[in-house]
Structure 1
Amino acid sequence: MSVSFVPIPEGSDFPLENLPYAVFSKKSKPDKHRLCVAIGDYVLDLKEVAQYYAPEHQAALQSHNLNLLMSLGHEAWDAVRTRTQELLTKGSVVDVNDLRTVCLIPQSEILLHLPAEIGDYTDFYSSIHHATNVGIMFRGADNALMPNWRHLPVGYHGRASSVVVSGTPIRRPLGQTLPEGAEKPVFGACRLLDFELEMAFFIGGPGNQLGEPIKVDDAWKNVFGFSLMNDWSARDIQKWEYVPLGPFTAKNLGTTISPWVVTTAALKPFLLDNFPQEPEVLPYLRQTLPFNFDINLEVSLKPADDNETLISKSNFKHLYWTPLQQIAHHTITGCNLRPGDLMASGTISGETPDSYGSLLELCWRGTKTVELQNGKTRKFLQDYDEVIIRGHCEKNGLRIGFGTCAGQVLPAHPVD
């Protein structure tokens, strides 16, 4: 195992084996966006070291977002990653003093931004435990999963413009709801605001031409890397509006992602067999490559002026449908994907109540309460609550982390 000359604190999310990408600016120059990788408590400014990379990669490293690097394809990603590890390893091929004084910046001195210009955003519904729980609540155990669920990755097109970076507050939405027993809808602030524990991945490579599907076992070439996600959901608005076309304003109020993009290469030590699927899926979705990962996920809830409470622990491995199957299904019609497009997993719930990935499940449609510290409880989110999602992989002394994905709920705008 190589060792970096940069000190890596014990338990750090960002060892030399990780090197997640982000877009940052110095606090002193907040409008000057640049690319970086994280290493320990620092970031390496990739614009400052671009001259040490192959000429064909330098323009991407000097860009203000990750889209150009994403477009170069998996061979370029591997080459850039290898070179970055060389630069940061003890005995580096460049002047270490230059790296320390010019190119390495403490994370305490930077701001983090959206990692890419997101052209399109698709959210899937790929956790069988989550889908089953929701189905039981609304349709009963005998009809929990809809007939299509085990045959294709269910999803919907989300709103890319309201995807925001961790730390951005989320305003409680206004909308129409139909109160229990009422015959007519009312207008007002959402009363059943929820989080959804998700992971997302960015599309990379040149993409595919309109009309040309991506084969499931080739789809890995289009997965640049993964981030944490919270897909905020207005449950009462959603219940009234989703028939017959599905989520709309209940989902477009905001989607929070973590600023760090952990590459597929960094996750390879944590590969698992794919979730077993029954019945056998159609040929275009039959995946022979393993593309499932042992990623520990957790959610904490922090009321205003109080401590946070861990309320859920789940794992990426619970996803029934893989990212490769999501890509294959998304493009089977010939839909063209582009670098920077974002795809999300849907809520990731495990088998046990402490691993459910939403308050809808944790409170079982409002029939239970979640116990917080200092005697507080929740069924759904209150104003000024902060939701904090964390994720990491750990095996044989190696820890690969994703940082945090956090957002605070602000009160709704007054109703005139």
Structure 2
Amino acid sequence: MTDTYLNLVNSGPLKKVAKAIGLPRPVPLRRYEPGAPMVPGPVLVLGASAGADGLASTLLAWNLDVRRHLRPKEKAGAVVVVLDDIASPGDLSATFLELGGVLRQLLPGGRVITVSRTAEAQVEPAVTAARQGIAGALRSVAKELRGGATANGVVLGETVDVDAVSVRAALRFLLSGRSAYVNGQFISVRTSGGSEPQSWDTPLAGRTAVVTGAARGIGAEIVRVLARDGARVIAVDVPAAGEQLTRVVNGVGGTALHADVTAPDAGELILNHAATRYGSLDIVVHNAGITRDKLLANMDAGRWNSVLAVNLESQLRINEALLASPDFSADGRIVSLASTSGIAGNRGQTNYAASKAGVIGMVRSTAAALQDSGRTINAVAPGFIETEMTARMPFATREVARRLSSLQQGGLPVDVAETVAFLATGAAAGISGQTLRVCGQNLVGA
């Protein structure tokens, strides 16, 4: 659905009026376009560690215009702040103040990315305090940026080098237009490993992917993005969605599978279809989901149970079949759709929020069981995304929801799909058990 307000405040007489009276002024976001530069200008690298020097060399190898200092009035497309060796809160001062001095030189659609180490490790309290301080500072910076710019972080495990494959992959994702609606978030690279694709234009070439709930909305867009990135895609949805599902798969040269994900044999059906058509299965995206909203005082068993069955229990059952099957690749990727409702809750959605919070817990627990296996599982938690469902919301409610994020607008289905595709790559092998929010840094909740 078109965001009319966004269009009005970026053109014509209302543009000046909005600026004069202080109305929210969201801008069109910089999204991925094949062939477009990864970053729209120079990349400034801040930090004095050996890691900062190493990352600067990595960025240079990507043919980016890397700087250690900006000239007066020079604009930057991104600022990478490397804080991998800080030892006390006092170490934050110089680098963050230097960042503050160049924020006004950030181009529209620019990126600020911190690179630091985990605060979860058993280290000295002063080190942990400093590392955790980065999270508060970075998220605050994200709320200060304008012009469609975003701020996110990459967090390294204690033994992970700044040049690890998954670190480089996370940097590419966050620098590029693929992360347009990801803001104020951290990607944790817990382990080394993984492999870079032969081409970053088609990082999923040769891989077979299944997407459930694929006939419309976010699911259909995930199908299109995975196919664009080179994957062979099997689109799954209920028989009633057959006509729409056919249109989706015909558009990408994929195959359709009519199945109810709540069926006891859904996992085996998916695996058999993939093995028969393509020999194996590499990626599974659990997108199928429903809402049956009611205040809890008015909730009945049918509404509660159906939402839990589709949104959570089906994923548990299918995952069990996947992880027990030799037809699911040894380096397989599972990506589940959660929701910010499962993080912050939402009025009238106790059943939906329970199901999506359950997905987050399932991902965390399953990742622990998959540790060192080569397989990964992660979740993507969308916020307000422009879909058929949000288009049916009352006008005032929809407008408030759009503006209730740092980016002051709703996301698009492609924003969710880009994040799913990143987590499905071989280069993301060091990232598992995480829930990555695609919400424009929603201002409500955790």
Q: Fold match, TM over 0.5?
A: no
TM score, norm. by length of structure 2: 0.27
Higher relative contact order (Cα pairs below 8 Å, separated by 6+ residues) = 1
More strand by share: 1
More helix by share: 2
Q: TM-score, normalised by structure 1?
A: 0.29
